[in-house]
């Protein structure tokens, strides 16, 4: 039997982004239904951001402590892997979502457990876990927030070989003796850092000439040096040709490289990018392509429609939780305004209904040792975009606050200045503790603060933030 119900807004997918849309539309008094077929909180809470950072935190804290004489001798031993994994389990609520379900209830959103699928314009069908069917009609908007999944390359021997994706890498209950990691993106370097610190012998296999290719080149160089010092075997410029696991999906695994070399491991993680979770969600029923990323305008409305929104990973603008939640706030405001008949939305650059930061000021912190942090455009991206720019660099190790933070502090900072407008287009930092420095750069980039005014933003002594002063001094000559 199918029951039918009508709402103002139907959100498909209750990851961090879907939850935030529902929060905004409920706060505006719109009747909102949320459909989720796994755990409320999404990948981020259970198989991505939260467990990965729980695994990395002890690795980073230990590395920091080892750089402080007087403390270093006390932290030379191995990590207590069982305790780290137990804390990770606690941070993900043991993969139960009761707390999140209670929160959805508290904001007055109606939860439907099951798989949501578009069933023509403004209509979503839900197949529940007990075989129940619901047909939900949205008076104003349907929001697709179904996220992304890991993609595996098409390689001989890989199917059925029990390779890890980010899901297994963040939820494993045992530390493999040897771990091969394929991919030098964010997941690859973070998980290589975590598992090497937890006791695995990690081999990181990177196709390109460096890691973290979307950041300034010096960032990846620092991360590679540090991974090598931690004992990881980092191989750049290599491609995986095949995988061989004689025991089926468990037991020793051989990763065959295109030059014929073989890396032997107990587990292999493929961290080779993401695909949208838009297959089988009925996109064909509204004239869109099944399984495709969803192209949206700056209000997050899917192009060619006036009722379908796509937020978070699924629109491919920036595969980051905080950026998806920002899109959720913008889309929530746009849906509310349109539902209220507001004749003209504020869709100008930086307007209340425009996800402008997606283009100009996306911040990201990579929780490796050292941390990597960047916002806005890299020098190469700025040049490619046709800006007249100047990059200014500074050695973070020469900043007093950094020297006090850690002996032998190594790191670097760069700001990219638009010479025509004298504002920052981007900034990048690599070094211990720089993650917390990033928001100052984000404010400067998103606020388009003139460089001359930044001169009056005085960083406290002795903090790592004093690098701002050094960068500005260098810029002013
Ligand atoms: C290992 C790893 C670490 C990461 N670390 C960070 C980090 O530190 N910081 C950061 O900002 N980002 C990080 N990310 C990226 C971050 O996880 C994603 O950007 C974020 O999860 C996107 O949120 P979302 O709500 O769009 O999608 P998701 O979190 O994937 O949520 C989508 C939800 O939709 C549900 N769903 C899918 N299809 C349907 C359907 N048909 N019907 C009903 N429900 C459905 C899913 O079950 C899921 O709950 C990391 C990613 C990985 C892989
Ligand atoms: N701290 C954070 O903010 C954080 C942490 C983890 C993930 N994330 C997000 O999750 C997303 C996914 O991360 P990811 O690392 O899986 O993807 P990614 O796109 O960042 O990196 C994937 C890497 O794998 C390489 N690759 C692809 N196919 C390959 C192959 N066949 N052989 C070898 N290498 C191959 C690519 O060249 C690329 O460098 C990222 O976009 C990131 O924004 C964020």
The pLDDT assigned to 477 comes to 87
184: pLDDT strictly greater than 80: yes
- In the predicted model, is pLDDT for residue 135 greater than 90? yes
DSSP result, 100-123: HHHHHHHTTPEEEESEEEE-STTE
Residue 190 CB less than 6 A away from ligand 2: yes
64 CB near ligand 1 (under 6 Å): no
Give me the mean pLDDT over the 300-305 stretch. Answer: 97
The strand order across the sheet containing 240-244 reads 240-244, 253-257, 262-265
How close is the Cα of 147 to the center of ligand 1, in Å? 5
Where exactly are the structural domains of the chain? 2-41+97-149+276-357, 166-272, 370-476
Average pLDDT over residues 139-161: 98
Give me the mean pLDDT over the 248-257 stretch. 96
Ligand with the closest atom to the CA of 18: 1
Instruction: Kindly report the average pLDDT of the chain as a whole number.
Output: 97
pLDDT digits (tens, 9 = 90+) for 196-214: 999 999 999 999 999 999 9
Shortest-distance atom of ligand 2 to CA 186: 15
Question: How much distance in Å is there from the Cα of 182 to the middle of ligand 2?
Answer: 10
Q: Which CATH class is domain 166-272?
A: alpha beta
Q: Is the CB of 272 under 6 A from ligand 2?
A: yes
> From ligand 1's centre to the CA of 44, what distance in Å?
5
Asked if residue 324 has its Cβ within 6 Å of ligand 1, the reply is yes
**Chain segment 9-42, per-residue pLDDT in tens:** 999 999 999 999 999 999 999 999 999 999 999 9
Instruction: List the end-to-end C-alpha distance of the chain, in Å, as a whole number.
Output: 74
| Ligand 1 within 6 A of CB of 9 | no
Ligand having the closest approach to the CA of 238: 2
- What pLDDT sits at residue 87? 98
| Tokens, residue 183 | 């991919």
pLDDT of the residue at 463: 98
What does DSSP assign to residue 343?
S
Tell me the C-alpha distance between 147 and 276, whole Å: 6
Nearest ligand for residue 167 CA: 1
Q: Residue 145: its pLDDT value, please?
A: 98
Q: Mention the CATH class of domain 2-41+97-149+276-357.
A: alpha beta
Work out the percent of the chain whose per-residue pLDDT is above 70: 100
Atom of ligand 2 nearest to the CA of 364: 3
Write the residue with the smallest CA distance to atom 43 of ligand 2: 319
Residue 247's pLDDT is 93
Residue 1 pLDDT > 80 = no
CA dist., res. 210 & res. 219, Å (int): 10
Mean of the pLDDT values across residues 407-420?
A: 98
Q: What is the pLDDT of residues 346-362, one digit of tens each?
A: 999 999 999 999 999 99
Band the pLDDT of 2: cuts 50, 70, 90. Answer: confident
Peptide bond into 462 cis (omega under 30): yes
Phi, psi of 439 (to 5 degrees): -65, -30
Q: Is the CB of 406 under 6 A from ligand 2?
A: no
Cα 245 to Cα 177: distance, rounded to the nearest angstrom: 16
Regarding the beta carbon of 320 and ligand 1, being less than 6 Å apart is answered yes
Name 428's bridge partners.
374, 414
The CATH topology of domain 370-476 is: Enolase-like; domain 1 (3.30.390)
Q: Assess whether the region 2-41+97-149+276-357 and the region 370-476 belong to the same CATH fold.
A: no
Locate the ligand 2 atom nearest the alpha carbon of residue 49 and give its number.
5
**CB neighbour list of residue 114: distance below 8 Å, 6 or more residues apart:** 35, 37, 126, 127, 128, 129, 132, 134
């Amino acid at each position: 039997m199918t029951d039918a119900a009508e709402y103002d807004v139907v959100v498909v997918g209750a990851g961090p982004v879907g939850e935030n849309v529902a929060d905004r539309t409920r706060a505006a008094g719109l009747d909102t239904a949320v459909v989720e077929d796994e755990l409320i909180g999404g990948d981020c809470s259970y198989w991505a951001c939260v467990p990965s950072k729980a695994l990395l935190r002890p690795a980073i804290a230990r590395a920091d402590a080892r750089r402080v004489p007087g403390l270093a001798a006390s932290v030379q031993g191995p990590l207590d892997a069982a305790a780290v994994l137990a804390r990770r389990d606690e941070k993900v609520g043991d993969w139960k979502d009761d707390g999140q379900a209670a929160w959805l209830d508290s904001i007055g959103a109606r939860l439907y457990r099951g798989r949501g699928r578009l069933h023509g314009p403004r209509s979503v069908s839900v197949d529940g876990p007990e075989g129940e069917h619901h047909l939900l009609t949205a008076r104003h908007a349907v929001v697709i927030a179904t996220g992304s999944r890991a993609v595996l390359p098409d390689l001989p021997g890989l199917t059925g070989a029990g390779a890890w994706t980010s899901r297994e890498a963040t939820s494993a209950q045992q530390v493999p003796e040897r771990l091969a990691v394929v991919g030098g993106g964010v997941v690859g370097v973070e998980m290589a850092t975590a598992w090497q610190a937890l006791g695995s012998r990690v081999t990181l296999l990177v196709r390109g000439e460096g890691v973290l290719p979307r950041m300034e080149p010096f960032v990846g160089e620092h991360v590679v040096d540090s991974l090598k010092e931690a004992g990881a075997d980092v191989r750049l410029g290599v491609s995986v040709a095949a995988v061989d696991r004689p025991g089926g999906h468990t037991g020793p695994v051989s990763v065959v490289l295109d030059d014929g070399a073989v890396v032997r491991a107990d587990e292999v993680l493929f961290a080779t990018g993401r695909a949208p979770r838009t297959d089988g969600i009925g996109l064909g029923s509204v004239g869109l392509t099944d399984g495709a990323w969803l192209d949206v305008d700056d209000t997050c409305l899917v192009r060619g429609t006036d009722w379908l929104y796509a937020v978070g990973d699924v629109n491919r603008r920036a595969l980051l939780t905080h950026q998806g939640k920002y899109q959720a706030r913008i889309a929530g405001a746009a849906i509310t305004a349109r539902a209220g008949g507001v004749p003209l939305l504020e869709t100008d650059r930086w307007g209340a209904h425009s996800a402008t930061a997606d283009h100009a000021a996306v911040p990201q912190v990579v929780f490796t040792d050292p941390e990597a942090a960047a916002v806005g455009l890299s020098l190469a991206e700025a040049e490619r975009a046709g800006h007249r720019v100047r990059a200014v660099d500074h050695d973070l190790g020469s900043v007093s606050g950094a020297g006090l933070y850690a002996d032998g502090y190594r790191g670097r900072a760069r700001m990219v200045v638009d010479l025509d407008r004298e504002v920052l287009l981007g900034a990048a930092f690599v070094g211990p503790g720089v993650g917390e420095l990033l928001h100052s750069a984000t404010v400067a980039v998103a606020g388009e603060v003139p460089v001359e005014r930044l001169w009056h933003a005085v960083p406290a002594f002795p903090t790592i933030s004093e690098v701002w002063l050094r960068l500005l001094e260098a810029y002013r000559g």
